[in-house]
Amino acid sequence: MLEELLQKENIDSGKLTASRIEAIRAKLAEANPVDIANEISEMEPKPMLTAFRILSKEQAAEVFTYLSREAHQDIFKQIPLEETAALLNEMFVDDAVDVIQELPSNIVRKLIDKVQDPSQRKAINEFLQFPENSAGSIMTVEFICLFGTQTCAEALQFIRKNGVDKETINTCYVTDATRHLTGIISLRTILLSPEDARIEDVMERNYVCAHTHDDREEVAADFRKYDLTAMPVLDTEDRIVGIITSDDIMDVIDAEKNEDIEKMAALTPSEKPYLDTSVWELARNRVKWLLLLMIGATVTSFIINRYNELLSHMVMLAAFLPMLMDTGGNSGNQVSTLIVRDLGNGGIEPCDWPMVLWKELRVGLMCGIVLAAVSFLRIYFFQSGVAFDVNIVVSLTLLCAVVFAKLMGCTLPIVAQLCKVDPALMASPLITTIVDAFTLVIYFAIATHLLPNQV
Amino acid sequence: MLEELLQKENIDSGKLTASRIEAIRAKLAEANPVDIANEISEMEPKPMLTAFRILSKEQAAEVFTYLSREAHQDIFKQIPLEETAALLNEMFVDDAVDVIQELPSNIVRKLIDKVQDPSQRKAINEFLQFPENSAGSIMTVEFICLFGTQTCAEALQFIRKNGVDKETINTCYVTDATRHLTGIISLRTILLSPEDARIEDVMERNYVCAHTHDDREEVAADFRKYDLTAMPVLDTEDRIVGIITSDDIMDVIDAEKNEDIEKMAALTPSEKPYLDTSVWELARNRVKWLLLLMIGATVTSFIINRYNELLSHMVMLAAFLPMLMDTGGNSGNQVSTLIVRDLGNGGIEPCDWPMVLWKELRVGLMCGIVLAAVSFLRIYFFQSGVAFDVNIVVSLTLLCAVVFAKLMGCTLPIVAQLCKVDPALMASPLITTIVDAFTLVIYFAIATHLLPNQV
């Protein structure tokens, strides 16, 4: 839509008259800032700047927070530092901080010094101190503070006067004179209570809160547990310093899940979109894990080497190696995925381990027996070159491998949790390597035992 | 806390006097319903019912929605159908429907007929019609409807009178006489606008909405894209029938991510917590995928069989099979995980495939060269029994396997997306099987070529 509007004008920004800019601006005022941002993000740098500068000051600040990382860079390159600072001045603090964190650090200091509003500057500075992934780093400082001694009518009056700039006023926070949080109250309660009721008599004293240094993942868990839409954040002295809203938490839930998935796939987690990540960075994130796992897998080659003698007499045995190891690996991953999920959401505690182990023993036996039977029949009917006793060895190994994989798949993540290591790291590839080694040992042990005359 | 209170009383419910119940109820009124529910969920069936019946009617309905599935069953078994129906009468419709869906279907009909409030009964019935995972199935019907002709003062008055029962009043919906949505307005805007402003002059006409049959995953994506806290749901004739709130969306984001993870681990997705799932169900969810993949993996045994001759002369080659196949599989999974993630959030479109392929070719070469070099040096220095030319064969195969795995890992999920198959299904285990087969073919081809005198 924006592009159309600009093309209709068919001239670059220098020749746009003020009245025409006004006309376009009025049309854009109705549009959703996210959609405008998406359109601008896809433009070439020059028209992008033209389009961006047409927006009103307030709309520009909002649109800017939704632009892509590249668009941010493109715009920063073309506008003076003062204009950037003015933009930051207009933005919600947490959005401004997100933008700043993309910039090279030498620019950041100069830029912040140019932000005019001193309270905004101070807030941005404080935000930059919070550790990554902490509650402090995702909170917003725009919220409404009330006093317990106010009446509901006074509180409403106060909100009417002070609410314009606040990111959310649906929940208000009640503090004493020293900014200690004494309760929370929803706008709804204020509205639905008698006008002369005192805030402290109708507020909720039982609230869920976070501290600035809490891990954002724990905050997200509490959000979901208590079905919250906003949560107050307190500093080390229990004074309220910010709030976290549900839109930020949605991003956290998504990011934390992606982190788990990436760890399970032996990747160094990164929140950067794939297409924005350089080849070099992609290779670096991956090669160290591949190396580690490759070195780990060499143990399998030593095991096979030990049974060289057996293998050279029974080359047929080698044909089943990949199938046995893949099935074992898949069986292990199935469990570990479920266990990692439930360890993450509190559905499983480490003390449940014996119960889980007993469950997996039975699941493993059931799956193992079915797989072994199907494999036996398949080989018997469709691979006539395979001797009957070799078929028995393969089926037995399959059963053992599946059961062992199930037991390892539930044990490793729980052990990791006990050792304060992220269970997701223990999942998938590591389990595959361990199960592989075990499968080989069992395979050759059974073969040596059952096929003595061939050796 | 609850258990303590009950133990202090030290008598069962029959002997609790009304005044004592009142005293406990007053103490509990302050507590968070989620915490009460967690405590009750862990009790034995009999004290559970005692504790539950002590709660006030309104608190009981709220606590009930947070009880565990088992606790629901335990309570249902002990109370008459009428009491259950009364409970449903008090609950928000979407919560009531969640509870009903856990029940055996023969009870459901009888139960719903006993719900006294006819509008509640009708709403529950309508909800039960919506397909699973649709926007309709997660919406709530409690919301505030305003008319465009009202002034802000009138609207506030209306909200004050009608807002008690509504799940959220932070956003209000403006309709015409036929319930067609004309705009949305936040309570904040109503409060901050002049009292005599007409709603239709200050409301937002540009809103994001869903239809009852939309997939909940798409709704969640829009929530995140537009940073919403609530979204109106329209029926096929564009009349507003409900709203979706952010707490429900958080659960959707989490559930959809878990579904992806489970599909990638070759599991039939299930939202049931691990500990609540029976051994039989766990085994059934897993064994069909394991079977499918096991049958798929048999292609590897045919490939190895074809090279029996070569292997029997060079048993040493077998020793490197697991390492080569694991590294190939891991390399493929790393890419497919990222591609599935970004296909899901719109970061990658199928048309980006050539760009992705070119990127992965370079990443694959970089990773492959490093891995091949490290493997070569490791074998050269630490595995002196391995001939130099065998070492060369292994390193070359490693390089080819990694590059091929990277190319397959990005291609398969994109092809799946194009064929309208869930890309997550194509990830991990399927890629492993394909990469395994390719690795074997390449390995033996290179070996036949480079080691001719041994064969």
B104-161: per-residue pLDDT in tens? Answer: 767 777 777 777 777 777 777 777 778 878 888 888 877 888 988 999 999 988 888 8
Domains of chain B (ranges, CATH numbers): 2-132 (1.25.60.10), 145-263 (3.10.580.10), 274-454 (1.10.357.20)
pLDDT at B79: 83
Asked if A57 has any chain B CB less than 8 Å from its own CB, the reply is no
Chain A positions touching B225 (Cβ under 8 A) are: 34
Q: What pLDDT was estimated at residue B441? A: 92
Does A304 contact B at CB distance below 8 Å?
yes
Give the residue, B408 or A125, on which the prediction is more confident. Answer: B408
CB-based contact B170 A164, cutoff 8 Å: no
- Interatomic CA distance for residues B211 and B223, integer angstroms: 14
Which residue of chain B is at minimal alpha-carbon distance from A366? B283
Q: What is the mean pLDDT of residues B398-411?
A: 93
Query: Residue B5: which pLDDT band, with cuts at 50, 70 and 90?
Result: low
For chain B, what is the mean pLDDT?
A: 84
**Cα A69 from Cα B173, distance rounded (Å):** 34
Residues of A in contact with B300 (CB under 8 A): 319, 322-323, 326
Pairwise CA distance, residues B442 & A158, whole Å: 75
Averaged pLDDT for residues B225-253: 87
Phi, psi of B417 (to 5 degrees): -60, -45
B7: confidence class by pLDDT, cuts 50, 70, 90: low
Whether residues A322 and B334 touch (CB distance < 8 A) is answered with: no
Chain B residues inside the 8 Å CB shell of A249: 250
Q: Tell me the average pLDDT across B165-188.
A: 84
Q: Distance (Å) from the C-alpha of residue B136 to the closest C-alpha of chain A?
A: 19
A260 touching B, CB under 8 A? Answer: yes
pLDDT at B11: 46
CB B337 within 8 A of CB A261: yes
For residue A375, the number of C-alpha atoms closer than 13 Å in the C-beta half-sphere is: 31
Q: In Å, how far is B86's CA from the nearest CA of chain A? A: 24
User: Which of B273, B329, B436 has the CB atom closest to A347's CB atom?
Assistant: B273
Q: Is A366 on the interface with B (CB under 8 A)?
A: yes
Mean pLDDT of A224-229: 85
pLDDT of residue A109: 73
* Residue A13 pLDDT exceeds 60: no
pLDDT at B358: 92
Q: What is the pLDDT of residues B338-347, one digit of tens each?
A: 888 888 777 8
CB within 8 Å of B425: residues ≥ 6 apart: B263, B416
- Whether B273 has its CB under 8 Å from any CB of chain A: the answer is yes
CB contact under 8 A, A294 and B262: no
Across the interface, of A228, A245, A371, the residue whose CB is closest to B290 is A371
Predicted confidence band of residue A32 (pLDDT cuts 50, 70, 90):
confident
For A39-61, what is the mean pLDDT? 84
Q: pLDDT band at A232, cuts 50/70/90? A: very high
- Nearest Cα to Cα of residue B75 among B113, B103, B115: B103
Chain A and chain B share a number of CB contacts under 8 A equal to: 347
Q: What per-residue confidence (pLDDT) applies to A170?
A: 82
The full length of chain A comes to: 455
- DSSP character for A227? T
Range with lowest mean pLDDT among A74-78, A277-281, B6-10, B422-426? B6-10
pLDDT over 60 (residue A455): no
Question: What mean pLDDT, rounded, does chain A reach?
Answer: 84
Please say if the pLDDT value at position B311 is more than 90: no
* Type of residue found at A98: D
Q: Which of B224, B305, B327 is opposite residue A319, by nearest beta carbon?
A: B305
> Residue A294: which of B228, B302, B327 has the nearest Cβ?
B327
What does the DSSP 8-state code read for residue A208?
-
Q: Chain B within 8 Å of A373 (Cβ-Cβ)?
A: no
- Give the burial class of A26: count Cβ atoms within 10 A of its Cβ; 0-12 exposed, 13-18 middle, 19 or more buried: exposed
Q: Does A157 touch chain B (CB under 8 A)?
A: no
Does the distance separating the beta carbons of A254 and B250 come in below 8 Å?
no
Burial B100-118 (b: 16+ CB within 10 A, else e): beeeeeeeeeebbebbeee
Contact by Cβ (8 Å): A194, A118: no
Encoding tokens for residue A29?
Answer: 């005022």
In Å, how far from its chain's centre is CA A451? 51
Chain B, 205-224: which have a CB under 8 Å from a chain A CB? 205-206, 208, 220, 223-224
* Chain A: closest CA distance from residue B313 (Å): 8
Query: In B307-352, which residue ranges form alpha helices assigned H by DSSP?
Result: 308-313, 316-319, 321-344
* % of chain B exceeding 70 in pLDDT: 94
* Residue B55 three-state SS: coil
Each residue's pLDDT tens digit, B194-211: 889 999 999 988 889 999
**Choosing among B195, B261, B317, which should be mutated to test the A contact, i.e. which has the most A CBs within 10 A?**
B261
| pLDDT surpassing 70 at residue B1 | no
pLDDT, tens digit, 9 for 90 and up, residues A385-438: 888 889 999 999 999 999 999 999 999 999 988 888 888 876 667 788 888 899
The tens digit of pLDDT for each residue in A193-214 reads: 888 999 999 998 888 999 988 9
Q: At residue B428, does pLDDT exceed 70?
A: no
Would you state the pLDDT for residue B370? Answer: 93
Shortest CA gap A201–chain B (Å): 12
Contact B227/A206, CB-based, under 8 Å? no
- Residue A432 sits at the chain B interface (C-beta within 8 Å): yes
For A194, name the nearest residue in chain B, comparing CA atoms only. B160
Of B267, B333, B342, the CB nearest to A265: B333
**Containing H/E element for A109?**
helix A105-114
* Nearest CA distance, A138 vs chain B (angstrom): 14
Q: For residue A337, list chain B residues with Cβ-Cβ distance below 8 A.
A: 261-262, 264-265, 267
pLDDT in tens, B348-360: 888 888 999 999 9
Sheet holding A230-234, edge to edge: A210-211, A230-234, A240-245
What band does B173 get if pLDDT is binned at 50, 70 and 90? very high
Residue of A227, A314, A383 for testing the chain B interface, max B β-carbons within 10 Å: A227
The whole-number average pLDDT for the span B214-235 is 88
Pairwise CB contact (< 8 Å): A294 & B254: no
- Of A160, A266, A297, which is closest to B192 when you measure between CB atoms? A160
Which residues of chain A from 12 to 31 reach within 8 Å of chain B, CB to CB? Answer: 30-31
Q: Evaluate if residue A346 carries a pLDDT over 50.
A: yes
| pLDDT at site B455 | 47
Q: Which of A63, A192, A274 to mutate to test the interface with B (most CBs of B within 10 A)?
A: A274
Q: Is B363 on the interface with A (CB under 8 A)?
A: yes
**3-class SS of residue A89:** helix
Digit-coded pLDDT (tens) for A56-65: 888 888 888 8
Query: What average pLDDT does this structure show over A138-143?
Result: 83
Contacts of A159 in chain B (CB under 8 A): 191
- The pLDDT, as a whole number, for residue A11 is 46
